[in-house]
Amino acid sequence: MSTHVLGDTGVLTGRSLRHILRSPDTIITTVVTPIALMLLFVYVLGGAIKTGSDQSYVNYMLPGILLITIASGVAYTAYRLFLDLQGGIFERFQSMPIARSSVLWAHVLTSLAANLVSVAVVIGVALLMGFRTGASVASWLAIAGVLVLFTLALTWIAVIAGLSAKTVDGASAFSYPLIFLPFISSAFVPTDSMPGPVAWFAENQPVTAIVDAIRDLFAQQPTGGGIWTALAWLVAILAVAYAWAATVYRRKIS
């Protein structure tokens, strides 16, 4: 991005972040569901679930909870984008000397910042619940990189939803399948414990590759080719979502 685009994006991102700071309930609402799921799975269901691993159940399921946290958070991006679109803010921006792409990037970067805070809160609660890791600094950086890519990929999908929705409820409803997807993966139980067709889907969908890579990094175990599979999924989803969102945006403002 040029200096002009970077400057415009910085100003508009500051505007979006101020809205979140004035309404911290956005982040609070985002972390309530993942924390409730952690409490339910660890203290109610965890004792009955066999993972085939000697690590604690909170360690096993935390990667999936982090993805659910992000999937919950990006719904607010679609919601805020829809409100801006309906409120005529986009038209006002078009009449100003502002780079068009900076409007979308501001929402995306705001989503990234808010979701990273939510993820940090959830990890903090997991630590109180007994989560422990011997992950090195390099592993933590790798985990952060995977989560950032996951957030960006889902946020650009949220942008598509926010630009395409006809109602405010429709703008955020897209996130429900994304929140549900980790439940049909290796996030909470091993895939080999599932019925045949479900196990096949779970083993070959992106969430399983991402969860397994994060879990191995936390446990300081070799990721093998799993990390590259996860990255390939993330980059592919991000590229498609970005191109689709850019196309929808051009049609909306043309």
pLDDT digits (tens, 9 = 90+) for 86-109: 766 655 656 555 666 677 888 888
pLDDT at position 174: 78
Q: Which of residues 40 and 223 earns the better pLDDT score?
A: 40
Count the Cβ atoms, other than its own, within 10 Å of residue 150.
26
pLDDT of 195 higher than 80: yes
Q: Answer yes or no: is pLDDT of 2 > 50.
A: no
Statement: the pTM of the whole predicted model exceeds 0.85: yes
Residue 85's pLDDT is 75
Is 80 exceeded by the pLDDT of residue 41?
yes
Q: What is the DSSP letter of 47?
A: G
Query: Is the CB of residue 68 less than 8 Å from the CB of residue 179?
Result: yes
Rounded distance between C-alpha atoms, residue 34 and residue 68, angstroms: 7
| pLDDT over 90 (residue 51) | no
pLDDT at site 252: 74
Residue 65 pLDDT? 95
Q: Give the DSSP letter of residue 136.
A: -
**Residue whose tokens read 């945006």:** 249
Proportion of the chain in helix, strand, coil states, percent, rounded to 5:
80, 0, 20
Nearest of 72, 69, 65, 70 to residue 40 by alpha carbon:
65
Average predicted confidence (pLDDT) for the chain? 84
